Structure 1
Amino acid sequence: MDDLASAHRGATKRFIFLLLPNYSAMTFAMAMETLKTANRMAMGTPFSCVVCSEGGVPVTDSLGAEYPIDHGLEDVSRDDIIVICSGADVRKNCTPAVLQWLRKCARQGCEIAGLYTGAWVMAEAGLIGEEAITIHWENRNSFAEKFPDVELSDYTYTVRNKRYSTAGGTAVIDLLLTLISEAESPELANLVADQLMYTNIRVLQHSARVQVAERIGMRHPKLSEILALMETNLEEPLRPGDLAKTVNISTRQLERLFRRYLSATPKKYYMDMRLQRAQHLLLQTSMSVTEVSVACGFNSSSHFSRLFRARYGMSPHRLRGEPEKG
């Protein structure tokens, strides 16, 4: 804990929450609680939160309650993160004043996030470029019809080019943990997740392997290169001999490296990577089990399901809370 406090970068990152009428109370509360927990675990104030609304007037959330408003649509700093909190009826809340303010924030270089249906407001303001964005599943069809040139992601949250989005639910915690990790440290993000009893840290699960590869790369660049090859060839896995040949070592040397540094065979480690990627896709996308199995290099969905069950103690369908297939 002391190490985390001393490692705090000094400058406070400000999150400005824009509340629109009938915004998702759960989404907003989870975002605020995650940042509040981060400050407590960091033993400082790496993050501050400001709540605004059009005209600075109270806004009723999806539960019929009101949260105190700090101010209206005032000037911001380029280092601020604007967080749009909206709800199911987002279309009628894209007022000219809100859209104009968001465009001004974007021109100043602010990062902008849309929670739940906030991506709709971002698209209406013309703030989305080539980056893919996500939105709550109930709004996907109408969004695609309204904004045919905007790419919709199957993921529950997106992070790219200072534009962030979530599809609602607990995905907001995933996004905030990512932003905490980038602004401060992965260690702080993990501490926050522990405090929130959020053991299913999907983004950190996905990035943990990269962190391991980077640490190993400091000691053995060849192995780091091999792990990177594996990571980028999950849909069509490479054979151990091909991996070894690519980095100019023998297959026997390859096996020795994996035993020494990873305590596993190349085949087993590769399989774990593919199954972990499958878990990531099952939790974060709407892809079918068959599509996930193909994306992770399995020719048979039944074979994939057996391996997944052996690795995680449950079938892919059960992980999603879906009925088991016969």
Structure 2
Amino acid sequence: MSKPPQAGRLDGQTRRFVFVLLENFSLLSFAAALDCLRIANRMHEGVVYDWLLLGEGGETVHCSAGTEFSLQGDLSEMRRDDTILICGGIDVQAATTKRVLSWLRREARKGLAVGGLCTAAFTLAKAGLLDGKRATIHWENQDSFAEEFDEVELTKSVFVIDGNRMTTAGGTSSIDLMLKIIAEDHGEDLANAVADQMIYSSIRTDQDTQRLSVPTRIGVRHPKLARVIQMMEANIEEPISPSLLAKDVGMSTRQLERLFRRYLNRSPKRYYMELRLQKARNLLMQTDMSVINVALACGFASPSHFSKCYRAHYDTTPYRERGAQAARLSV
């Protein structure tokens, strides 16, 4: 397991975290990380952590809930022992501006430890800081990230530390990352004390995955059904036929049909189609991939078939969906 980057910190020296708040950042991911540092100072009975809130323009920024936050400064030159945490949220592509990327690359060249909370792994990857490294990102953004950054080893972990690069999946995963850092900096006792103060009774490691298990997600504990759904989710670009899925779990196609009807009220074919269309919608909303490439990535042989299926499910065409998303981002 990788150890958190120490950023050149000496014993007894205050370690500073620089939070860079992107427009529409996730409040939960940011606040969870920041409060870990605050509580660590309180429980340690001394200031072992300090922090700074920066952002492009240096004045104000909005979280994804719409609340405005005052910044402490613009993107400026950092100290060599600082740890930078980029805080992302919705529409991270739009928030990842050329100026943010230039600043991030410049600071990273100094050897600073850099992390991305929630969707900010996209920002790090866009800056080229995750090339050849393991990383994670919120599950909703995994499809688009994998399509755009094939040089990054994407995982489904809650958080990942690879050298001096850190990424989290969003939400409360910021707590797990910060507790790991606090434990390495000042010992397990302090990290556990922080967790207790936060009523955080189940600390996760980088071996834990971010999404609920298939049985928990679908509310059904049937091992063969869960296995089939896992295979469907892992084979979106090249769908597997129901007969082969059934054979793999030792059932007949008819038995598989009955299983899906009983527990999910739909056929295996319909369920599989919904998974593929869900991925297609994510790609349309989060990437610049052409509609035909989205169709191919989701297992559709032609754009016309893709458009027909998409319209039947979402009551709009892929082209209109892409146009509506562009209009929302321009507001």
Q: TM-score under structure 2 normalisation? A: 0.61
Letter in 2 for 1:323: V
* Aligned-residue offset at 1:87: 0.9
- Give yes or no for contact 2:80–2:110 (8 Å, CA) kept in 1: yes
Could you list the runs of 5+ residues in structure 2 that have no partner in the other structure? 1-9, 224-331
2:326 corresponds to 1:324: no
Aligned residue for 2:30, secondary structure, equals helix
* Aligned-residue offset at 1:324: 2.4
Alignment of 1:41-52 (within 5 A): 41-52=43-54
- Give yes or no for contact 2:158–2:204 (8 Å, CA) kept in 1: no
Q: Which of 188, 194, 197 is 1:195 aligned to?
A: 197
Instruction: Summarize the Cα distance change of 1:321–1:14 in structure 2 as closer, same or farther, 3 Å threshold.
Output: farther
- Give yes or no for contact 2:135–2:154 (8 Å, CA) kept in 1: yes
Letter in 1 for 2:203: I
Q: What is the CA RMSD across the aligned residues, in angstroms?
A: 2.0
Aligned to 2:25: 23
Could you list the runs of 5+ residues in structure 1 that have no partner in the other structure? 1-7, 207-279, 290-316
Find the aligned partners of 2:87 and 2:219 in 1 and give their Cα distance: 30
Cα deviation code 1:237-256 (max 9, x no counterpart): xxxxxxxxxxxxxxxxxxxx
Letter in 2 for 1:195: Q
Letter in 1 for 2:222: K
Find the aligned partners of 1:285 and 1:192 in 2 and give their Cα distance: 22
Aligned residue for 2:105, secondary structure, equals helix
Matched pairs, number: 214
Cα deviation code 1:104-142 (max 9, x no counterpart): 111111111100101000010011132211011111111
Aligned residue for 2:57, secondary structure, equals helix
Instruction: Summarize the Cα distance change of 1:72–1:148 in structure 2 as closer, same or farther, 3 Å threshold.
Output: same
- Give yes or no for contact 1:77–1:108 (8 Å, CA) kept in 2: no
Higher relative contact order (CA 8 A, sep 6+): 2
Find the aligned partners of 1:80 and 1:133 in 2 and give their Cα distance: 21
Find the aligned partners of 2:12 and 2:200 in 1 and give their Cα distance: 27
Find the aligned partners of 1:138 and 1:88 in 2 and give their Cα distance: 10
* Aligned-residue offset at 1:63: 1.2
Aligned to 2:151: 149
- Give yes or no for contact 1:117–1:135 (8 Å, CA) kept in 2: yes
Aligned to 2:42: 40
Aligned to 1:71: 73
* Aligned-residue offset at 1:68: 2.2
Find the aligned partners of 1:199 and 1:158 in 2 and give their Cα distance: 20
Find the aligned partners of 2:28 and 2:219 in 1 and give their Cα distance: 24
* Aligned-residue offset at 1:173: 0.3
Aligned residue for 1:55, secondary structure, equals coil
Q: Which of 150, 157, 174 is 2:176 aligned to?
A: 174
Letter in 2 for 1:173: I
Identity of aligned pairs, percent? 43
2:164 corresponds to 1:162: yes
* Aligned-residue offset at 1:78: 1.6
Find the aligned partners of 1:40 and 1:286 in 2 and give their Cα distance: 32
* Aligned-residue offset at 1:322: 4.2
Cα deviation code 1:172-231 (max 9, x no counterpart): 10000011111222211111011111010122xx8xxxxxxxxxxxxxxxxxxxxxxxxx
Q: TM-score under structure 1 normalisation? A: 0.62
Q: Which of 13, 16, 38 is 1:14 aligned to?
A: 16
Aligned to 1:134: 136
Find the aligned partners of 1:176 and 1:58 in 2 and give their Cα distance: 25
Letter in 2 for 1:93: A
Aligned to 2:311: none
- Give yes or no for contact 1:9–1:184 (8 Å, CA) kept in 2: no
Find the aligned partners of 1:131 and 1:182 in 2 and give their Cα distance: 21
Find the aligned partners of 2:218 and 2:140 in 1 and give their Cα distance: 19
Find the aligned partners of 1:166 and 1:29 in 2 and give their Cα distance: 14
Alignment of 1:89-108 (within 5 A): 89-108=91-110
* Aligned-residue offset at 1:76: 0.5
Find the aligned partners of 2:211 and 2:71 in 1 and give their Cα distance: 36
Aligned to 2:283: none
Aligned to 1:223: none
Alignment of 1:239-250 (within 5 A): none
- Give yes or no for contact 1:128–1:163 (8 Å, CA) kept in 2: yes
Find the aligned partners of 2:219 and 2:16 in 1 and give their Cα distance: 40
